[in-house]
Structure 1
Amino acid sequence: MSAAPTARSRAPRLAVRIGVGVVGLATAAGSITACAPSGSGDGGDASGVTINVLAEDISYTDNWKELLPEFEEQTGIKVNIETVPYSDQAAKILLNFSQKSSDYDVVFTDNTYGTGYFESGYIDDLSEHEAKGEDFVGFDEFYEPYLAPMQKDGATFGLPVYGESTWLMYRTDLFEQYGIDGPPQTMEELEAAAKTISEGSGGDVAGITLRGAPGIQSVYPWAGFLRAFGGDFYDGDELAVNSPESVEAAQFWADLLKNYGPSGVGNFDWEQNRIAFTQGNAAMTIDATANGPFNEDAEASVIAGKVGYAPIPYAISDPPASGNTDNSLNVHALYLSSFSQKKDAAYEFMAWATSEEVQTNAVENTEAVGVTLNAVLESPAYDEKYGAFKDALLEQLATGNVDYLPAGTDANAIITEVGQALSRTLAGEADAEEALNAAQEALQAQLG
Structure 2
Amino acid sequence: MLKMLNRAALAATLTAGLTAGLMAATAPARAETTVNIVGFGAGFAWADLFGPSGTEKTQKLLDFEKKEGITVNMEYADEEVARQKVLLDLVNGTGNYDLVMLGSDGAVQTFSAAGYLEPLDGHLDKAKDYFDAAKVYKPFLEANTVDGKLWALPYYSFGPGVVYRKDIFDKYGITTFPKTTEEMEAALKTIKAGLAKDGITDVYPLTMRGAPGEEPSLDLAGFVFAFAGYPAWFEGGATTPAEIKAKKAKPIFTGDFKKGFETFVNWAKDYGPPGIATHTWVDMMNLYGQGKAVVLLPSAINGFAGIPGSEVPAVKQFSAYGPSPIGPSGKPIESFWTFSVGVSNFSKDKDAAYKVLAFMTSEPVMEDFATQIGWPYTTYPSIMHGPVLTAKWPKETLDGVEAAFISADPHYFPYIPELNEFMDKIGTAASEAIAGTKTTDEALAELQSWAEERMERAGYYK
Would you call these one fold, judging by a TM-score over 0.5? yes
* Displacement after TM superposition at 1:257 (Å): 2.4
Tell me, in whole angstroms, the C-alpha distance in 2 between the residues paired with 1:88 and 1:220: 22
Aligned to 1:217: 215
**Residues 37 and 74, structure 2, Cα contact 8 Å, conserved in 1:** yes
Distance verdict in 2 for CA 1:260–1:363, change over 3 Å: closer
Aligned partner of 2:185 in structure 1 is 191
* Conserved? CA contact 1:215–1:420, under 8 Å: yes
Identity of aligned residues (%): 26
CA deviation digits over 1:77-100, x for unaligned, max 9?
Answer: 112212245555555433322212
1:136 positional shift: 1.8
Residue in structure 2 matched with residue 234 of structure 1 by the alignment = 234
Give the CA RMSD over aligned residues. 2.7
**CA shift at 1:154, angstroms?**
5.2
Gaps of 5+ in 2: 22-29, 52-57, 239-243, 457-462
Counterpart amino acid of residue 86 in structure 2: I
**Does residue 307 of the first structure (1) align with residue 319 of the second (2)?**
yes
The amino acid across from 1:170 in the alignment is Y
**2-structure distance, mates of 1:299, 1:376:** 25
CA distance in 1, matches of 2:363, 2:4: 29
Contact 2:214–2:428, Cα closer than 8 Å, also in 1:
no
Separation of aligned partners in 2, 1:223 and 1:328: 8
Query: Are the counterparts in 2 of residues 60 and 368 from structure 1 also a CA contact under 8 Å?
Result: no
2:274 corresponds to 1:283: no
2: CA distance, partners of 1:121 / 1:19: 15
1:190-238 alpha-carbon deviations (Å, 9 max, x no partner):
2222222223212342121111111221112222222222162222333
Deviations 1:224-272 (A, max 9, x none): 2222221622223335352333323333322322222112111111011
Count residues with an aligned counterpart: 419
CA contact (8 A) 1:194 1:206 kept: no
Q: 1:75 and 1:205, CA in 2 relative to 1: closer, same or farther beyond 3 A?
A: same
For residues 305 and 311 of structure 2, the distance between their equivalents in structure 1, rounded to whole angstroms, comes to 8
1:169 matches 2:163? yes
Paired residue type of 1:304? K
* SS of residue paired to 2:205: coil
CA–CA distance in structure 1, aligned partners of residues 147 and 126 of structure 2: 22
1:7 aligned partner:
none
Q: Are the equivalent residues in 2 in contact too, given 1:294–1:301 (CA < 8 A)?
A: no
**Who is 1:51 aligned against?**
35
Pick one of 6, 25, 30 that aligns with 2:11.
25
Worse overlay, 247-256 or 279-288: 247-256
Distance 2:375 2:62 in 1: 21
Unaligned runs of 5+ in 1: 5-15, 35-45
Q: Distance in 2 between matches of 1:50 and 1:64?
A: 16
Paired letter, 2:266: D
Give yes or no for contact 1:55–1:82 (8 Å, CA) kept in 2: yes
**Mapped partners of 1:405, 1:181: distance in 2:** 34
Distance in 1, Cα, partners of 2:414 & 2:82: 17
* Counterpart for residue 420 of structure 2: 412
Asked whether the 8 Å contact 1:19–1:215 carries over to 2, the reply is no
2:263 aligned with 1:252? yes
Give the Cα separation in 2 of the matches to 1:91 and 1:447: 25
C-alpha contact 1:53 1:82 (8 A) present in aligned 2 = yes
Match of 2:399 in 1: 391
1:103-135 alpha-carbon deviations (Å, 9 max, x no partner)? 111112222321332233221122333344233
Q: Structure 2 vs 1, CA of residues 127 and 21 (structure 1 numbering), >3 Å: closer, same or farther?
A: closer
Partner of residue 54, structure 2: none
* CA-CA distance at 1:300 after TM superposition: 4.4
| Comparing 390-399 and 79-88, the one that deviates more | 79-88
Tell me the alpha carbon deviations over residues 140-189 of structure 1, each in whole angstroms, 9 at most, x when there is no partner. Answer: 22222222223355533322212111212221111110112322233233
Question: The residue matched to 1:254 in structure 2 has which SS?
Answer: helix
Distance 1:107 1:290 in 2: 23
- In 2, distance between residues paired with 1:133 and 1:20? 30
